[in-house]
Structure 1
């Protein structure tokens, strides 16, 4: 059942991506021949207003087949006949819908666990916070003279301290109290002071926290992409990049622990799909947006369709080769017992 849950999650994430393309294609008058859930042979389909809505046998994605998307077409409803801005909006809509889905997935997560505040909850015995006389109920106002407005800012200051003493100003019973605390390095290599925070459970804060967390994850993913390009990924490339087998294993594990963990992991996967698709690489949405940018720079002069198709084909082959490499790495980990189902 957990594998089924994982496949359904993947299906929803990819479906939302393709739905973004579909909605904006329809909005801009592009003829959509088929909007499919799944891949492979068609199980069944229904035609409405010239579009076939189908379900295919393999629950691993889907597609939105538009007129003139990958070939020259003189049809008025052809993708290629639309303006640069219209085509760009259609292409960008897929990744953008994935970003929106990530936020939507996170809202119930934060409704359940609550949004972190700067008010301290538990103080670990014999920890730096305990020794510095921090108390439950203290509200952190500033660190080293810099105002603290969120729990994330607080943890960042702790992490960036590198073990150096920090001067905190906390609100204790409506009075400002100055406290010096020295973070200690934990087993995982990060610096901590030994405190937890009070979590505020309401829908408004949950929505706000979902946007904030999504923004933070986007920054982390961009940093990771930069490390991939420069070859500076911590722990090595093969140990840091997961393929479909590893992801299926992780999602299956999350499904066993409940819907909240599954939704949180789903938000990360959806965000990854959106961000990676915006990378300016041939065959990806980002690559197609880059070609549209070149077209705009050339004053609207279109790139030769055959050349564009060749560029995208080369990019697609490179992506498939990369996927084979990652899948091989996944299977190796599976046989070694590193990953389990």
Structure 2
């Protein structure tokens, strides 16, 4: 049930992204031929004002169709309301609207959670282990999800994000060197030895960490705190997401193992949904920001690629030839499908139930 909720949230976020493209086009009077929720055969179809709205069999996202892409369209090629015939700024707004919709949604859900549920109570000292990768240094040392790390080498960890940053800094600086960890599990406290793996001279332990928050919430004190809390949560999520993708570009070998595929994303959502509605809110905000940043990258099939093509067109005075664009798009499609399959196989093999079946 938790996995289903996470899957539905993921699908909804993709629909919101496509709805951003749709609204940006229709509000500018640009022709749109279709808006679909889901993929595959249409279960329900309705046509209104020249747009075909459809609910399809597989509710995993959605898409917007433009007559520009329909070779059988009877609309004249020089129609001023076709997307490709509009000024570049208008085209750019349509392309960017999906990213903007995801960012706006993340802000809205974080604001709503703070307003109606509250904000997290002050964190306790130490760091909370959220997730442990099988076979990583953290798993080998005996750390488990839910453990609290109180100190490293007898040095207490501060409360909040400062404690997390201090632990990350100490781990990175100690590849293949033992660190004495004071761990609290339930009511019991013990000491264990943690030896970070060496990844190109940087220590890695294979664990997701966060501030040691009890999960208790308190009401916001005033509108100012509501705005500041929402902005702080949003900016922190956005910064962490951008840093993650930047790490892939600058140090792919060290960070590639942290890339999550669809299975891992749904598993993470299922774990967060166990915390109730607040967990799903956090998941939806985090994934919505991830979708926005990912789609901003200048890679074939992504919105960032289309923005780059428009930028080149504005400089050259004419668009890049369709033959060249198609070659890149086809290559990008094959790469994306291959990467997705690899991530699905890898993440599925790391699921606890699969590990048990394999006797690990």
Judge same fold: TM > 0.5, yes or no.
yes
Change (3 A) 1:292 1:285: same
Contact (CA 8 Å) 2:164, 2:211: kept in 1 or not?
A: no
Counterpart of 1:242 in 2: which secondary structure? coil
Distance 1:39 1:193 in 2: 39
**TM-score for both structures, normalised by structure 2:** 0.69
2:11 corresponds to 1:11: yes
Aligned to 1:276: 294
Counterpart of 1:29 in 2: which secondary structure? coil
Distance 2:235 2:36 in 1: 30
Q: Give, in angstroms, the shift of residue 286 of structure 1.
A: 0.5
Q: Give, in angstroms, the shift of residue 116 of structure 1.
A: 6.4
2:257 corresponds to 1:253: no
**Cα deviations across residues 189-225 of structure 1 (Å, max 9, x unaligned)?**
99999999x9762373234322222212211112111
**TM-score for both structures, normalised by structure 1:** 0.73
Aligned to 1:114: 119
2:327 corresponds to 1:322: no
Match of 2:326 among 280, 303, 309: 309
Larger displacement relative to structure 2 (64-73 or 93-102)? 64-73
Distance 2:351 2:263 in 1: 8
Aligned to 2:237: 217
Change (3 A) 1:309 1:193: closer
Distance 1:159 1:113 in 2: 28
Contact (CA 8 Å) 1:15, 1:61: kept in 2 or not?
A: yes
Q: Give, in angstroms, the shift of residue 249 of structure 1.
A: 1.9
Counting only pairs closer than 5 Å after superposition, residues 80-95 of structure 1 correspond to structure 2 as 80-95=84-99
Change (3 A) 1:185 1:92: farther
Give RMSD over aligned pairs: 3.8
Contact (CA 8 Å) 1:224, 1:233: kept in 2 or not?
A: no
Change (3 A) 1:49 1:253: same
Larger displacement relative to structure 2 (315-324 or 329-338)? 329-338
Change (3 A) 1:209 1:293: same
Distance 1:280 1:270 in 2: 18
**Cα deviations across residues 136-191 of structure 1 (Å, max 9, x unaligned)?**
xxxxxxxxxxxxxxx76x668866996xxxxxxxxxxxxxxxxxxxxx97669999
Larger displacement relative to structure 2 (29-38 or 186-195)? 186-195
2:214 corresponds to 1:208: no
- Unpaired runs of 5+ in structure 2? 127-149, 152-159, 171-179, 184-193, 195-204
**Cα deviations across residues 17-51 of structure 1 (Å, max 9, x unaligned)?**
00100011112222111111111110002111111
Change (3 A) 1:3 1:194: closer
Larger displacement relative to structure 2 (287-296 or 314-323)? 314-323
Match of 1:263 among 258, 281, 286: 281
Larger displacement relative to structure 2 (215-224 or 301-310)? 301-310
Q: Give, in angstroms, the shift of residue 333 of structure 1.
A: 1.7
Contact (CA 8 Å) 2:164, 2:210: kept in 1 or not?
A: no
Change (3 A) 1:193 1:291: closer
Aligned to 1:237: 256
**Cα deviations across residues 266-305 of structure 1 (Å, max 9, x unaligned)?**
111111111000001111100111111111111x312222
Aligned to 1:28: 28
Counterpart of 1:43 in 2: which secondary structure? strand
**Cα deviations across residues 232-290 of structure 1 (Å, max 9, x unaligned)?**
565x523x111111222222233333111011011111111110000011111001111
Distance 1:246 1:339 in 2: 17
Counterpart of 1:303 in 2: which secondary structure? coil
Match of 1:79 among 78, 83, 86: 83
